[in-house]
Each structure stands twice: as structure tokens, then as C-alpha cells.
């Protein structure tokens, strides 16, 4: 943990200031130790360079989500060059320039793939937060970057000071909360006035076959042992991979074929990835205890709940929402 991160952290229980105790330094960073709250006296460990700022108790649903996504990102921890184009597609029309010189929060950082990109886009500091063991993969994947920090914490009770961030983005995370609105309400006050909030979310519109087939399957597989679900996802990836190579790969250069194929905007984008990445995507669809496919009105409501002015709401790949908004002078 870099010491300057202390300027941004706050106790998740009472928002008091935190100070290090029993710190074990290494090259100026804190690799092991403890943070103590000066208001409520709560104590939080720092292990392997990551401050563990979790509330005392997590709801079982949140704990299950943490375990299952933590398993995914520690087993599929690779960082791929294709993530650059993918991330920019998810956050457009927000682009690289929005990160330059900004203090940025990645709300649900997973294995850290977007942390590296945000740092490369010129962010002053990028802070990644996740609730489960994925933070260890994120810390390992970004350990060489001086402007990246990783924190373990709960998005609905974020351990950061109010008005400490210029930009918050959350890609593929808030729709996995029990109540997505809770994430917006908790995160938006962390923005400075005029700060930007960017979210990529599953859409209900355009996902009829997912709602009919994939989501009911997920409701079953989300209760199964993770190694078994990983194996089932591998089996399902084989026919998907064949279809991608035989049909969707040619469709990238043949517009008439692309128009004839279902879900072509999304699946042609997957052609660029190797089998292992497609396997991880299939696994991702089957493991989550909660997955909300959000109609447009629900997304608009979430931004309003956060006190955010919705500036852009784009139907991405005809199956998801790329949304961005700004915080006004007050944010309840």
C-alpha cells in the first residue's frame, strides 16, 4: 500500500480517518500492518500490500458474490492487449482524455485489467476496489505501476473520503448487487462536484434469449461448486468457439453476413479472443448469485438515485447499457 493512499481512505463504518499501526514497510510502501480508525477505533489489516477495509459483516448474498467472482479472477488472471478496445467500447463516448490527470476509482476492479488501462490513459491515481480475493490478482497485475492502488472493500460501504474522486467507472459490476441503486447511492458522493460517473450494465432490451435460456441456467449453476461450473462452462465454450470461428469471424468483413447473424454486434467482438478468454466469459455468465438485466428506465432511476445528471445513455452491442453522468453541487 502506497502511503499517499491514506489521504483518500476512510473507515467504512464511521468515515473516520485511518492511520497505520504496526506497519511493515518495503521500498516506502506498507506491505503488512494495520489501519486504525481515530473515531470508532475499528481496525483493518493490510496484507500483501492491500488494505482490507471490509465491514464487520457481509450479507450472505454479497459474500457469495465475492467468493465466486474471486475464484474466477484468480483462475483467469491474464491481462490481454484486446482489453483496451473493449474497455473504450464499454465507456464511450467517454474516452482516454477523461482520465488525464484525474483521480479515478474503478468500482469492482476484478483482476485489474482496467486499472492498467486507466493508468495508461494518464490518470493521476487509479484506485481499484473489490470485495473478494480478486484484489490479490489485481495487486499482482498492477504491482509495477506507481499510480495504481488496490483496496478490498464493499461498494455499498466504500472506504473512501467524500468528494475524493474525479471519475468513477464501474464495468459489469453494479448489476450484480442485490440492489443496484445502493451502489449508485454509495459511490456518487465520492465524486467531486462536476465529477463523472461511468457504468456499463446488462440491458433487458435485446437480451430475450439470455433471459429465456442463460439466466435460468445461471440461477441453478450459481449454487453449484465452482470447479464444476468452470467445467460446464468449458464444455459450453466448445460449440460457441466453433460458431465464432466459422460464422462470426467471416462476418467481421462481410456486412451482409453480419446482418443475418443473431447477436452479431457482440459476438463478432469475441472473435479476437483466444479460447481461454471465451471460456472465462462463459464461466462469468454462469457463476453470479445475482444478475439484473436492467431496462432503460431502471438505469435512469439509478443515476437519479445517486444524484447524478445522466449525460449519455447508449445501447451498446444491442445488449447492454453504456451510461455516464455527472455529479452536481449536492449529492444525497
The structural domains of the chain, ordered by start, are 1-53 (no CATH), 59-222+288-332 (3.40.50.150), 223-287 (no CATH)
Model confidence at 130, pLDDT cuts 50, 70, 90, reads very high
Interval 192-210 mean pLDDT: 96
Share of the chain above pLDDT 90, in %: 89
CA distances from 236 to 49, 150, 188, 199, 267 (A): 37, 33, 38, 29, 15
The phi and psi torsions of 184 (rounded to 5 degrees) equal -65, -45
pTM, two decimals, is 0.94
Task: Look at 13-22, 150-159, 290-299 and tell me which has the smallest mean pLDDT.
Answer: 13-22
Q: Is the backbone of residue 151 left (phi > 0), alpha (psi -120 to 50) or beta?
A: beta
137 in helix, strand or coil? helix
Amino acid at each position: 500500500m502506497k502511503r499517499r493512499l491514506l489521504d483518500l481512505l476512510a473507515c467504512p463504518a464511521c468515515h473516520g480517518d485511518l492511520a497505520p499501526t504496526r506497519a511493515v514497510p518495503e521500498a516506502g510502501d506498507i506491505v503488512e500492518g494495520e489501519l486504525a480508525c481515530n473515531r470508532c477505533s475499528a481496525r483493518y489489516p493490510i496484507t500483501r500490500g492491500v488494505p482490507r477495509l471490509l465491514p464487520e459483516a457481509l450479507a450472505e448474498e454479497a459474500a457469495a458474490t465475492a467468493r465466486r467472482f474471486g475464484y474466477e479472477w484468480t483462475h483467469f488472471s491474464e491481462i490481454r492487449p484486446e482489453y483496451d478496445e473493449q474497455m473504450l467500447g464499454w465507456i464511450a463516448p467517454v474516452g482516454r482524455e477523461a482520465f488525464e490527470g484525474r483521480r479515478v476509482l474503478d468500482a469492482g476492479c476484478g483482476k485489474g485489467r482496467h486499472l492498467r488501462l486507466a493508468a495508461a490513459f494518464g490518470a493521476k491515481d487509479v484506485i481499484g476496489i473489490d470485495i473478494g480475493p480478486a484484489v490479490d490478482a489485481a495487486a499482482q497485475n498492477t504491482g509495477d505501476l506507481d499510480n495504481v492502488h488496490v483496496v478490498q472493500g464493499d461498494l455499498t460501504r466504500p472506504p473512501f473520503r467524500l468528494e475524493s474522486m474525479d471519475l468513477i467507472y464501474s464495468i459489469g459490476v453494479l448489476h450484480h448487487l442485490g440492489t443496484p441503486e445502493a451502489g449508485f447511492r454509495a459511490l456518487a458522493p465520492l465524486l467531486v462536484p462536476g465529477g463523472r460517473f461511468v457504468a456499463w450494465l446488462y440491458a433487458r432490451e435485446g437480451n430475450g434469449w439470455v433471459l429465456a435460456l442463460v439466466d435460468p441456467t445461471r440461477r441453478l449453476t450459481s449454487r453449484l461448486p465452482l470447479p464444476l461450473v468452470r467445467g460446464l462452462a468449458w464444455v459450453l465454450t466448445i460449440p460457441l468457439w466453433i460458431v465464432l470461428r466459422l460464422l462470426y469471424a467471416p462476418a467481421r468483413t462481410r456486412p451482409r453476413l453480419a446482418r443475418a447473424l443473431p447477436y452479431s454486434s457482440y459476438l463478432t467482438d469475441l472473435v479476437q479472443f483466444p479460447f481461454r478468454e471465451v471460456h472465462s466469459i462463459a464461466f462469468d455468465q454462469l457463476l453470479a448469485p445475482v444478475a439484473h438485466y436492467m431496462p432503460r428506465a431502471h438505469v435512469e432511476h439509478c443515476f437519479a438515485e445517486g444524484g447524478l445528471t445522466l449525460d449519455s445513455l447508449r445501447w451498446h452491442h444491442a445488449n447492454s447499457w453504456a451510461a455516464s453522468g455527472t455529479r452536481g453541487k449536492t449529492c444525497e
